């Protein structure tokens, strides 16, 4: 158990819908990262927050957005969902951005 929690574990929805994935980092970690993992694209970095502020952006679509709240939990919002958005979404946290990351169990999103 890494100490990072993610909810829900599984999410099944339809194209065009909007979903919110939630992540709670390890106690004391200020940095939160979101990744998308699919068979064809591998592990893709989406976005990083540090103490409530966006710090780095990766291959995140405009239909996706994220935020980190004052209690440091983070939410990833995915809208206008397409079949290709079906993937595992991981959240990770770290104390210092350049240090090792601790990954949550992931949310498996299926878009039908």
Name the site residues for another protein (rule: CB under 8 A). Answer: 2, 31, 33, 42-43, 45, 48, 55-56, 90, 92, 97-106
Nearest to 34 by CA among 25, 100, 26: 25
User: In terms of CB distance, is 33 or 64 closer to another protein?
Assistant: 33
> Nearest approach, Cβ of 90 to another protein (angstroms)?
6
Residues 6+ apart with CB under 8 A from 100: 94
**CA-to-CA distance for 66 and 48, rounded, in angstroms?**
9
CB 3 within 8 A of CB 105: no
> Nearest approach, Cβ of 97 to another protein (angstroms)?
5
Sort strands 10-13 and 107-111 into parallel, antiparallel or unpaired.
Answer: parallel
User: In terms of CB distance, is 69 or 99 closer to another protein?
Assistant: 99
Please give the C-alpha separations between residue 101 and each of 23, 83, 84, in angstroms, as whole numbers: 14, 29, 26
> Nearest approach, Cβ of 103 to another protein (angstroms)?
4
User: In terms of CB distance, is 31 or 74 closer to another protein?
Assistant: 31
User: In terms of CB distance, is 79 or 108 closer to another protein?
Assistant: 108
> Nearest approach, Cβ of 16 to another protein (angstroms)?
29
């Amino acid at each position: 158990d890494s100490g990072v929690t993610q909810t829900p574990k599984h999410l099944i929805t339809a194209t065009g819908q909007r979903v919110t994935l939630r992540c709670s980092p390890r106690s004391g970690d200020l940095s939160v990262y979101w990744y998308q993992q699919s068979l064809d694209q591998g592990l893709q970095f989406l976005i990083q927050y540090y103490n409530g502020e966006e710090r780095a952006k990766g291959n995140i679509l405009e239909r996706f957005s994220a935020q980190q709240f004052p209690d440091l939990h983070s939410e990833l919002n995915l809208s206008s969902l397409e079949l290709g958005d079906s993937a595992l979404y991981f959240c990770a946290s770290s104390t210092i951005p350049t240090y090792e990351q601790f990954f949550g169990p992931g949310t498996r999103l299926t878009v039908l």
